[in-house]
């Protein structure tokens, strides 16, 4: 099945590197016009040049509703529509037990990882999607949404909330817009370096039934399916974890 996005315009937050870059590339290769946004003009310009003429950029902070309004408006004015929104940008300022998290770190993580996707979805919905059929919102969650975590409890908790928000918005925005999510395990990006740097990469890969870590292109493939296919799918989360959640527990034998 060949999936195409010709004539469609997509916004990808956090699109200058890592998972966002992988999604932007998949969309551009499928014919979409893509607007990537992040905080650094330099990294955005580099990514846009790398991905080719279908990819444009503008600076924007994923946690700021004013930036969401501005970027969505710019997308519609410059590129003609806002058919797909990928809420990919995230932050992880704290690693440790949830019981010890500084509330300032809680606030920052909520701002970007949960309030941010809602604000950007509101901007896309009010600016374009509520008047046009066939639109799609894709939230990037985490396999951590489905389990506890020794050091990433805050991050995982909010990704769990994002999965639920995906379901809620899917019910509210249908049939004009579909809202789905992707929940990756460890993807080899700078953002997740803590989880795979040094000898962790080999040990983590061996614990997955698929025996490798994920790559940004893996998430790009799934996002393209959600944006260009999956026309009767909304409110669901695709888990891309190399089999992590079904792996045998060596301590159980």
Is 108 exposed, middle or buried, given 0-12, 13-18 or 19+ CB atoms closer than 10 A? middle
Contact 12, 88 (CB under 8 A): yes
- Contact predicate 38/19, CB 8 Å: no
- Whole-number Å distance between alpha carbons of 137 and 124: 9
φ, ψ of residue 151 in degrees (nearest 5): -115, -15
Residue 155 a catalytic site member? yes
Cα separation, 186 vs 169, in Å, equals 26
Per residue, what are the HEC states of 34-45? EEEEECCHHHHH
State how far the Cα of 68 lies from the Cα of 124, in Å rounded to an integer. Answer: 8
Answer positive or negative: Cα dihedral of 219, 67, 174, 135.
negative
- Active-site position among 94, 155, 208, 225: 155
Query: Packing angle between helix 18-29 and helix 41-51, nearest 10 degrees?
Result: 30
Known catalytic residues are 155
């Amino acid at each position: 099945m060949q999936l195409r996005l010709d004539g469609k315009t997509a916004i990808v937050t956090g699109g200058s590197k890592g998972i966002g870059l992988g999604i932007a590339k998949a969309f551009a290769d499928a014919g979409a016009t893509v607007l990537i946004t992040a905080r650094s003009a330099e990294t955005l310009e580099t990514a846009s040049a790398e991905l080719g003429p279908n990819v444009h950029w503008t600076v924007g902070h994923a946690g700021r509703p004013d930036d969401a309004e501005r970027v969505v408006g710019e997308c519609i004015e410059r590129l003609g529509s806002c058919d797909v929104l990928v809420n990919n940008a995230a932050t992880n300022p704290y690693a440790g037990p949830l019981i010890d998290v500084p509330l300032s770190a809680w606030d920052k993580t909520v701002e970007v990882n949960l309030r941010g996707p809602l604000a950007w979805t509101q901007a896309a919905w009010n600016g374009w999607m509520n008047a046009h059929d066939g639109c799609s919102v894709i939230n990037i969650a985490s396999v951590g949404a489905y389990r506890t975590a020794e050091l990433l409890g805050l991050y995982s908790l909010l990704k769990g909330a994002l999965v639920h928000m995906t379901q809620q918005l899917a019910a509210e925005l249908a049939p004009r817009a579909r809202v789905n999510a992707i929940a990756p395990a460890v993807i080899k990006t700078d953002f997740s370096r803590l989880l795979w740097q040094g000898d962790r990469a080999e040990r983590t890969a061996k614990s997955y039934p698929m025996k490798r870590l994920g790559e940004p292109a893996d998430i790009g493939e799934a996002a393209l399916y959600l944006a260009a296919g999956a026309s009767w799918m909304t409110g669901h989360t695709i888990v891309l974890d190399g089999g992590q959640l079904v792996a045998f527990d060596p301590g159980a034998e």
